[in-house]
């Protein structure tokens, strides 16, 4: 299921690698394009997602990359997160979150540094307050379904169901 690849190596083309000069190998797991994973995923290595994931991914000391073919419906927790594919869920990073130009994210982002590249698509909230970032509890992503497209949505549009998802704003603000 997991493919291991070396992502760092001291090898120089045309020269034999000398073992004693090698840096420690940093392993990276890949969920390939044909793979579908449902559930909670935890670990201590970098992960690239090219397939589909539903659930939760927690790699607090490592990086998560959602590749162009990646389709994720999950909350992601990592040191750094890079999105090139499609994500519905909340992203929590201790370092940074980058949404590349091909990335499409609906959810809430919590990280000290957030970068949206030109052309990327994003809907949701971005919390760049490093003081509070650790205290934020995971919430469901705000994923809008048009009110006219499902019976539940129709009820919602009529005011029967009031979805209460979305951003976390738990403290009254002082005046600007």
Partner 1 sequence: MRKWLPFGLGGRPQEPVKKEEIVSIEPVVHRSLALNVLFNQFKKEKKYRILDLGPALGGNVDFFSQFRCTICIEDLYSTLSSFDYLSPEDGFSYDAVFSYLMPYIRKARFDLILVWDLLNYLEREEFKHLIMHLGQYSRSGTLLFSLISTQQHIPETPCNFRIVDDERLEYRFNSSVLKDCPKYGKSDFDSLMPNFRVCNSFLLRNGFREYLFLYE
Residues that bind partner 1 (CB under 8 A): 113-118, 120-129, 131-132, 142, 144, 146-149, 153-154, 156-159, 162-176
d(CA 86, CA 66): 8
**Shortest distance (Å) from residue 126 CB to partner 1:** 5
Select 43 or 104, whichever has its Cβ closest to partner 1. Answer: 104
**Shortest distance (Å) from residue 97 CB to partner 1:** 10
Select 5 or 144, whichever has its Cβ closest to partner 1. Answer: 144
**Shortest distance (Å) from residue 86 CB to partner 1:** 15
Positive or negative torsion for Cα 119, 92, 47, 18: positive
Positive or negative torsion for Cα 88, 38, 100, 33: negative
Helix (H), strand (E) at residue 147: none
Going by their DSSP bridges, the two strands 52-66 and 46-49 should be labelled as parallel
Select 26 or 96, whichever has its Cβ closest to partner 1. Answer: 96
């Amino acid at each position: 299921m997991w493919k291991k690849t070396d992502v760092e190596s001291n090898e120089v083309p045309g020269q034999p690698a000398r073992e004693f000069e090698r840096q420690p190998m940093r392993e990276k797991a890949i969920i390939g394009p044909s793979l579908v994973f449902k559930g909670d995923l935890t670990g201590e290595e970098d992960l690239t997602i090219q397939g589909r994931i539903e659930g939760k991914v927690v790699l607090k000391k490592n990086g998560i990359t959602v590749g162009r073919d990646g389709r994720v419906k999950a909350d992601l927790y990592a040191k750094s997160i890079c999105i090139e594919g499609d994500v519905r869920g909340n992203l929590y990073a201790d370092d940074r979150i980058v949404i590349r130009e091909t990335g499409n994210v609906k959810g809430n982002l919590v990280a000290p540094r957030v970068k949206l590249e030109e052309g990327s698509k994003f809907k949701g909230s971005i919390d760049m307050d490093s003081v509070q970032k650790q205290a934020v509890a995971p919430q469901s992503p705000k994923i809008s379904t048009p009110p006219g497209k499902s019976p539940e949505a129709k009820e919602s549009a009529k005011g029967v169901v009031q979805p209460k998802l979305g951003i976390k704003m738990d403290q009254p603000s002082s005046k600007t």
